Structure 1
Amino acid sequence: MKYSLTLSVIFIFSIFFTSCQNQPHANNSVQFYNNVSEFKGAINANTTSRTSAIPAKSIQFKTFRDDQLNMDMFQMPVPSDWKMTPKSPNAQTQMTGNNGFKFFGEQGAMYTYSSDPFINQTAAQTGNAVLPVKTPEQVIKEMIAPTFKQDGVELVKMYKVPELIAYDKNYEQFKFKSGYEQSKTIDVVASEWKSNTGTSSLILVHYSAAYDNQQQVAWGFYLQGIDVDTKHFEQTKKDFIYAQANKKYNPQYLHYFYMKDANFARQSGKLHQQRMANLRAEGQAIIERGKQYSASVDRNHQKFMDAHLERTTVTSNSGQSYKVDAGSNYYWMNNDGQYISSNDPNYDPNKDPNYNNRDWNSTTINN
């Protein structure tokens, strides 16, 4: 069947479409854009240069829209025979053209992973897909190739696409950055496929892996693909890569998601701060209870030691406390910490000629 490769591509894209629904947008930017005008200026200053592989055919810009937001997303320069397909809920192709050409839109998946099993468990419980990090080449070989192979479609080759890597890295500045990322890897790898029915495909894997300061990584990818008659594949491939490297995003559209992600980060930050405040309060309460317990233990231990050693504590008029031998009713202290004990209530060492060269202060026995 000549359309077997097309069906395989559609199947692959439908799998990843299901896995990426309701995934939050990535948070990634080097500065905060306050309004759309700033986005326009940044876009004009950082537009990716056109590639040297200019299409052989005449080109025209096609506009892609987000119907839910009723907003233009971007314009893309494509050969004039590439036509937009009618939109429907089950449509997998976005464009069709001569020579069996079909363009499959962006679908992908996001995962999280950590070397800490507890973090992985928590992520899974909150609805995140947990999977050890794969390279884009591994994604192609382990996640895409097995499905294609079932339909007799073979992988021809893989290679990086420098102009699209540069484009994706440049695009990162228009995404909000929450501040948790320590590093991020951006890559684009192309894979070429061939069937025994006279059709060939190109699938682009746009890949990213963001590492935070807790040794956790959020990684994922989205796919773009084309299917065309094999004899027209080489030129169509060049046209497609050219179109992707030269598409122009609508500043309002970028700014909408930038602010959406910024607000999401703020709300998440507030929740995080509240959780941390609760944890700090709980931790402080535990510390205070520990101090109280420790002080109580220390007091009881001191009482035990004093009783065992037959000591008692007295306090002078100045408020200074002293340890003295127990057994007497009255104690006097001098400024050097020396004391005189007696059981005679009328005795006063200040009147005793044996001690008249020193000052003695009466004390109170602590109970």
Structure 2
Amino acid sequence: WNFFGQYLQATSADFSEAKKAFLYGLENTQYNQQWIATRNQNDMNRANVSYAAHQKRMAAIQARGNASMALSKTYSEISDISHAGYLKRSNINSAGHSKTINTIAENTVIANHGTGEHYTVPSGSNYYWVNNRGEYFGTNNINYDPRIDQQINDSEWTKFEVEN
């Protein structure tokens, strides 16, 4: 938008005539439409060039951002792989340590894979049974089932597997 200000400066004696001429000039002013169209076209061209340059800069910034994100994702994945390897090695080391300690202490680990329960018990039996109170016993008799033994069937017994 534009603002044009015009004023009239004349002596008192000439003011009335000057005013008439001034108003006549304002009322009969004509603008060169070709010049206005050319000026508008030039302004639009400059704006389009500026907009295209802006879009190009924004695309370059976006491309750098995408490249940075891809690189950070790659580094993150590498870090995750490295960490997973560390955890795996640590778990292997820990499992080996536990087996060594259990062997020295003559213990074995029994498990119920259905419930995820694990117990460390003295070694020496091939089969282990655990009741609902956490009591256990071991046996080497493959056919023994405490669930049908009248002397101890007052509890719910579950057969656990030897983990070692």
Q: Is TM (by shorter chain) over 0.5?
A: yes
| 1:339, distance to aligned residue in structure 2 (A) | 0.3
288, 310, 320: which is aligned to 2:84?
288
Q: Larger relative contact order (C-alpha < 8 A, sep ≥ 6)? A: 1
Q: Which residue of 1 aligns with 2:102?
A: 306
157, 161, 164: which is aligned to 1:364?
161
Distance in 2, matches of 1:251 and 1:347, equals 93
Q: Which residue of 2 aligns with 1:252?
A: 48
Q: Which residue of 2 aligns with 1:340?
A: 137
Superposed CA offset, 1:92-140 (max 9, x none): xxxxxxxxxxxxxxxxxxxxxxxxxxxxxxxxxxxxxxxxxxxxxxxxx
SS in 2 for 1:357: coil
Q: Which residue of 1 aligns with 2:152?
A: 355
SS in 2 for 1:355: coil
| 1:326, distance to aligned residue in structure 2 (A) | 0.9
Distance 1:255 1:317, change over 3 A: closer
114, 118, 122: which is aligned to 1:321?
118
Distance in 2, matches of 1:258 and 1:350, equals 82
Decide whether the 8 Å contact of 1:349 with 1:356 is kept in 2.
yes
Distance in 2, matches of 1:275 and 1:296, equals 32
Aligned residues: 120
Q: For 1:1-367, what aligned pairs fall within 5 Å after superposition?
A: 250-316=46-112, 318-319=114-115, 320-367=117-164
TM-score by length of 2: 0.60
| Equivalent residue letter for 2:68 | H
| Equivalent residue letter for 1:260 | K
| 1:346, distance to aligned residue in structure 2 (A) | 4.7
Distance in 2, matches of 1:266 and 1:287, equals 31
Decide whether the 8 Å contact of 1:316 with 1:333 is kept in 2.
no
Distance in 2, matches of 1:264 and 1:316, equals 59
Query: Quick check: which one's strand share is greater?
Result: 1
Distance 1:261 1:334, change over 3 A: same
Distance in 2, matches of 1:298 and 1:317, equals 20
| 1:286, distance to aligned residue in structure 2 (A) | 1.3
| Equivalent residue letter for 1:324 | V
Distance in 1, matches of 2:109 and 2:121, equals 6
Identity %: 23
SS in 2 for 1:281: helix
Decide whether the 8 Å contact of 1:317 with 1:361 is kept in 2.
no
Distance in 2, matches of 1:317 and 1:276, equals 40
SS in 1 for 2:75: helix
| Equivalent residue letter for 2:54 | Y
Distance 1:266 1:356, change over 3 A: closer
Decide whether the 8 Å contact of 1:317 with 1:362 is kept in 2.
no
| Equivalent residue letter for 1:333 | V
Distance in 2, matches of 1:270 and 1:306, equals 53
SS in 1 for 2:134: coil
Runs (5+) with no aligned partner, structure 1:
1-43, 46-249
Runs (5+) with no aligned partner, structure 2:
3-45
| Equivalent residue letter for 1:278 | T
Distance in 2, matches of 1:317 and 1:259, equals 61
| 1:333, distance to aligned residue in structure 2 (A) | 0.9
Distance 1:316 1:251, change over 3 A: closer
| Equivalent residue letter for 1:302 | S
| 1:275, distance to aligned residue in structure 2 (A) | 1.2
| 1:317, distance to aligned residue in structure 2 (A) | 7.2
